[in-house]
Chain A
Amino acid sequence: MRAMKLNERSVAHYALSDSPADHAGFLRTWGGAGTPPTPSGTGRRCWFVLKGNLLFSFESREGRAPLSLVVLEGCTVELAEAPVPEEFAFAIRFDAPGVRPHLLAADGPAAQEAWVKALSRASFGYMRLVVRELESQLRDARHSLDLHRHSSWKAIPSRCKPQASDHWSPDLENGYSLSRDCSPMALVEEGGSRPAGRGLAEWELQGPASLLLGRGQSPVSPETSCFSTLHDWYGQEIMELRRVWLQSAQGSQPECEERDRP
């Protein structure tokens, strides 16, 4: 009986699900909390799987139930001395009082380094930091593109503010798809392997061309419109260009429906 409940069945299901593992491999482990000490002190060899900010251990690679879970929040990962020689050890240390470090060891120096790197970047906060940086860069890139397009137009009144980036969030819930519409995420997924990046010059060439091809002028006059309206309008154009590109890349109409997922 435990003082605190956890949705363990769901956690175990997530551990075994098809969502990507960020790192996996055999590690030797010594006396984490709740682990009975091994008589010889040689530790126990388990299969470890890192998924997001969660580190799971299994009896074997084919294990069907996780033995243990470590939530990698509020911790640091450091090299450490192993209880026995020739082990490549590291420790997961928590800031919280009364929590003993998890001591683990890899089979070699390369594996040790790979684990320390992967575990050091596993926290939710780290991922959020990167996401926010990319959101900011995407705003800057779109802003640069917009400025270039209408550099010959009159200045836009400074009182207008760029729209928040919320509407760029992919419309997937926590692992579920909200709908079968042709969403940006669906298009991205259907792109297959990572496409070659497009230079800004390509956009410059296509922008005027698409205007000439009769997509029509901006629905509002630049003199009277605020930046966010123009921003949205150009955003639509970019979405259209990407759709056209994806079609030509695949040689056929892409599937708008997302595939079913396990």
Chain B
Amino acid sequence: MRYNEKELQALSRQPAEMAAELGMRGPKKGSVVKRRLVKLVVNFLFYFRTDEAEPVGALLLEHCRVTQEEPSGFSISFLEDPERKYHFECCSEEQCQEWMAALRRASYEFMRRSLIFYRNEIQKMTGKDPLEQFGISEEARFQLSGLKA
């Protein structure tokens, strides 16, 4: 799959929702924990060597699961292979909870579902489709039927 690294690198420089130095270990057997600067930018998690400007890698956070791991860490795995986990170690339980909460809401699909939920709630309460005022009520990305696909 071709993609433009420069586009992703530019994205990694955008303001982050969250950023911190965490311990990180990849899914390959025998991987060791390494110190990484980890940045959450829209639905991507970028990770950098702590002294470098360009990311070593990125995770697209769609169809992923965030799981707490003892003692104060969490893991990210993806739908197609739930046993293949990226492990992260935090400085404290509190930091761990903050990261898990942010990552669980990071995906575009979560945002889409939130939008559809709010749209339907408003419509039930007011009788009006709130998206009509923006002229976007017919867009495919905002339809409930998408959830049935």
A interface residues with partner B (beta carbon < 8 Å): 2-14, 17-23, 32-35, 52-54, 65-71, 73-75, 94-96, 98-99, 118, 121, 123-125, 127-128, 130-131, 133-135, 137-138, 141-142, 145, 168-170, 172-176, 184-185, 188-189, 191, 193-195, 197-200, 203, 238, 242
Instruction: Tell which of A9, A32, A33, A238 touches B81, judged by Cβ atoms closer than 8 Å.
Output: A9
CB distance from A11 to the nearest CB of B (A): 5
Cβ of B108 < 8 Å from any Cβ of A?
yes
Once the chains bind, are A170 and B141 in contact (CB under 8 Å)? no
What's the Cα separation between A138 and B122 when bound, in Å? 6
* B29 on interface, CB distance cutoff 8 Å: no
A3 touches B11 (CB 8 A): no
Q: Which residues in B have their C-beta under 8 angstroms from that of A75?
A: 7
Q: Are the C-beta atoms of B54 and A3 separated by less than 8 Å?
A: yes
CB distance from A41 to the nearest CB of B (A): 20
Interface string of B50-66 (1 = CB under 8 A from A): 00001111111111111
Given contacts A73-B11, A99-B7, A131-B118, contact A175 B2 (CB under 8 A): no
Chain B contacts for A118, CB-based, 8 A: 139-141
Give the residues from 103 to 149 in chain B that come closer than 8 angstroms, CB to CB, to chain A: 103-131, 134, 136, 139-149
Q: List 20 A-B contacts (CB under 8 A).
A: A2-B5, A5-B56, A6-B8, A7-B60, A14-B63, A19-B149, A66-B1, A69-B3, A70-B4, A74-B7, A96-B9, A118-B139, A130-B131, A137-B122, A138-B118, A174-B65, A174-B104, A195-B124, A197-B127, A242-B124
Contact flags (1/0) for B23-63 with A, using CB distance below 8 Å?
A: 00000000000000000001110000000001111111111
Cα A8 to Cα B117 in complex, Å, equals: 30
Nearest residue (CB) in A for B13 is A96
Nearest Cβ on chain B to A199's Cβ, whole angstroms? 4
CA of A36 to CA of B118, assembled, Å: 45
A242 and B119 CA atoms in complex are apart in Å by 15
Complex CA–CA separation, A125 to B41 (angstroms): 11
A73 with B117: in contact, given A17-B79, A52-B109 (CB under 8 Å)? no
